[in-house]
Copies of this chain bind each other. A is one copy, B any other.
Amino acid sequence: MFFHKQELQHSATPDAPDAVYARKLQEVLGGQYGEITIAMQYGFQAWNTHIPGKYRDLLYGIAAEEFGHVEMLAIMISQLLEKAPVGLTDEAVQNDPVMAAVIGGTDVQQAIVAGAGARPVDSMGNPWQGAFITSSGNLLADFTANANGEMQGRLQAARLYHMTDDKGVKDLLSFLIARDTMHQNQWLAAIQELQDDGIEQFPVPSTFPQSKENQEVNYQYLNFSDGVHAKEGSWAKGPTPDGKGEFSYHDGPTTTAPMPAPTTPDERFHGTTGKSPLLEKTKGAVKDALHKG
């Protein structure tokens, strides 16, 4: 169960309205790595988790905080939009380049659809979608997804930090960036702890027996491009991070197989096949060419 309190974790009030920035801030609210993604991802991982105890408690504990971050951003955005202009005449634009810029820089749906309100979309107006989240049931994979989520999120918040001079906005971003620092560290710690606890190891999933994977190619670096520096990396020689193999370097593939013959589905699919009745009537040369393929 979730309970709501009409307070925020941190002040979320801008010094002044800024409709152009309100659109940019939608990215960290409703974008691929926005707070809705983060909150829902931790929620689904918690609901789908298969072990009780500290890992599940960790997921529940942070999911609820993140729903509060969704709220802070939505409220910040609606305040940034508070003085958003409704309509602009040509005359107004002629005399005011800032106003001219505002015309194009805003999310017009924040005005037309939400009446100067926040929306569950990213900074280009794409609706948030369930396909943004990851919840696989394997915690080592998912915690890596979470670490990535917090890194992309902190990166975007840092970029947004440089795009405004508004002290109120910067203050909130400073808070959110700090929480992203915490959460990056938290997932890195949890990734290590899962391994230390003997619960899961690399390569994920560690419960799939490596004897069943192709033993020839599982530690080969195959370079399908002509870049000469790829072989200089630690991924091309030496022991592998999972502690189970040794990297080797190869130019291009070490294995090959012939291309299978084209398929011939049931004629009632009306595909173009070498068995077309029309083809029977045609000149032998064409048919020959088709069949020698």
Contacts and interface: CB of A to CB of B under 8 A. Distances in A.
Given A1-B9, A192-B234, A229-B53, A113 B94 contact: no
B6 A259 contact: yes
Nearest to A240: B185
A200 B272 contact: yes
Contacts of A85: 266
A279 B53 CA distance: 14
Contacts of A10: 214, 255, 257
Interface string A91-121: 0011011111111111111011111111111
Given A7-B256, A60-B227, A140-B151, A274 B193 contact: no
Contacts of A174: 212-214
A118 B47 contact: yes
B4 A2 contact: yes
Interface in A27-86: 27, 30-33, 36, 40, 43-44, 47-58, 60-65, 67-68, 70-71, 74-75, 78-79, 81-86
A104 to B, nearest CB: 2
Contacts of A1: 4-5, 7-9, 68, 71, 224, 253, 256
How many copies are assembled?
6
A72 to B, nearest CB: 9
B135 A79 contact: no
Interface string A269-293: 1111110111101110010011111
A6 B292 CA distance: 15
B181 A32 contact: no
B115 A270 contact: yes
A261 B121 CA distance: 24
A218 B259 contact: no
B130 A30 contact: yes
B133 A290 contact: no
Contact of A204 (B83, B151, B219, B256): B151
Given A62-B224, A264-B82, A111 B269 contact: yes
Identify the 5 closest CB pairs spanning chains A and B, nearest first.
Answer: A52-B293, A104-B104, A57-B227, A124-B125, A115-B137
